[in-house]
Amino acid sequence: MTADEEQPRVWVGDQVHDTDADREGIVTDVKSGTYILRPLHTHWAGTWTAPSDENLTLTLSREERLKRRREHGW
């Protein structure tokens, strides 16, 4: 990534709210600019896509999610 390129607002592992789908999820992958999301409480069922991060709002970063998981023993 060059200095002129903007970093994505959200990335794999981040918890986000998708305003288009009106649901909360975890970003599991990014392929050719399309974001793959899964529901918060399942790892495989019900995935959906967002064409960009434009309508994705970060609710909890990957780092914070992992920190909370360690603290609570989830």
Summarize pLDDT for 7-65 with one digit per residue, the tens: 568 999 999 999 999 999 999 999 999 999 999 987 667 899 999 999 999 999 999 98
Maximum C-alpha span of the chain:
40
Q: Tell me the CA distances in angstroms from 37 to 18, 26, 42, 63, 73, one per residue in order.
A: 9, 5, 11, 17, 24
Q: pTM of the entire structure? A: 0.81
Domain ranges of the chain: 15-72
Bridge partners for 29 per DSSP: 36
Torsion of CA 34, 47, 9, 3, to 10 degrees: -40
